[in-house]
Amino acid sequence: MAGIELPDWMRAYALLGFDDPDYRVITVDEHGQLNVLLRGDYEGEPRTVTLDDEGRISAFIIDSADAWGNMLSIGNAELAARLGSSVVYEQSGRVQFLESFEHGLGRWTTEVSNPDAEVVISPETFFSGGYSMKLKVGDTLVDYARAKHRQGNLPFGKVGIAFAWSTGTDFKNLTMEMNLYDGAHRRDAIFTFDSDTEMVAIYKDTLAPGWQGIMDFDPAGRTLHDFHVCKLVVDVAELRYDTFKCDQETVDISEWSMPSADIEIGSQIYMMISLIPRTDETNIVYVDDIIYTTAEP
């Protein structure tokens, strides 16, 4: 069959027959009747098209024009309403910012330690869409690759930060950080995957500030196409962590408070994701679907 040039979601076809070694347009007899044995290729083998109990072929037929010869079409807005989104983001809060990297890194500021490190858009693997953000660093612990995004208007209540990530190599730390400014103070929400301790840890500010392990994490066996989805929720008004989710596991971390400092900067949020390598090898991590939410329950 030969397709007429129409959008991907709607095609019209002309029938062609295969006459070795060429394709030919199928003709009709003197009475305008089509006599043909319809066959198709299925799993590498030619199969004859089957009929129902009454000798009918079951098929989807789409008219290319109405009764007056006007071309039929469906607008993109109507099509989207009919089909719905091809990607569903299941979030408990209200999504304020979503980055799937389909439009590059225009909303991000990138920083690298040296020319061997990089933060780039990559089609090599992705969680949704067709692209992800690739973080690459060298082989010393002073190397780093990070990306930062600024989001205005910090709300009070509970907020969340989520992202999907995949790695093809080992690494020292993969860290996600939110700096939340309310005009007079800065509050920090930080969690990291630490491959040395095989733990997920948050940075707490209680009587003994420092890293607090909250979940076991074994980096072994993770591959380029195995994405893991993680989400941190914090209570900005109460200056406390709330919950941490990774894949199917959820941990209550509300007993620990967030670091805070007196800094007079206008209401805004900085999101930053950083990769720190192990020594003796290049480290690469792919990040996709970074989602910032408010009004978390």
Q: For residue 78, which phi and psi values (nearest 5 degrees)?
A: -65, -40
For 270, the enclosing helix (H) or strand (E) is strand 268-276
pLDDT of residue 87: 57
pLDDT of residue 251: 95
**Per-residue pLDDT reduced to its tens digit, 75-89:** 666 666 666 555 556
Burial of 22 (0-12, 13-18, 19+ CB in 10 A): exposed
pLDDT grade for 265, boundaries at 50, 70 and 90? confident
pLDDT value at 107 more than 80: yes
DSSP 209: -
Q: Are 36 and 27 a contacting pair, CB within 8 Å?
A: no
Instruction: Count CB neighbours of 141 within 10 A.
Output: 13
Which of 86-90, 241-245, 270-274 reaches the highest mean pLDDT?
241-245
pLDDT of residue 132: 94
Q: Please, what is the average pLDDT of the chain? A: 80
Residue for token digits 């009919």? 82
Average pLDDT over residues 243-250: 90
pLDDT of residue 220: 62
Instruction: Tell me how far CA of residue 228 lies from CA of 56, 225, 249, in angstroms.
Output: 48, 10, 11
**Per-residue pLDDT reduced to its tens digit, 46-60:** 788 888 777 777 665
- In percent, the amount of the chain with pLDDT more than 90 equals 28
Spatial separation of the C-alpha atoms in residues 226 and 243, rounded to whole Å = 23
pLDDT of residue 29: 82
Encoded tokens for 100: 């799937």
Encoded tokens for 212: 């607090």
Domains of the chain: 1-85 (no CATH), 94-294 (2.60.120.200)
pLDDT of residue 83: 62
Instruction: Count CB neighbours of 100 within 10 A.
Output: 20
pLDDT of residue 23: 75
Instruction: Count CB neighbours of 234 within 10 A.
Output: 29
Average pLDDT over residues 141-150: 86
Residue of higher predicted confidence among 258 and 224 = 258
pLDDT value at 261 more than 90: no
**Per-residue pLDDT reduced to its tens digit, 5-34:** 555 544 555 667 777 677 777 777 888 787
pLDDT grade for 1, boundaries at 50, 70 and 90? very low
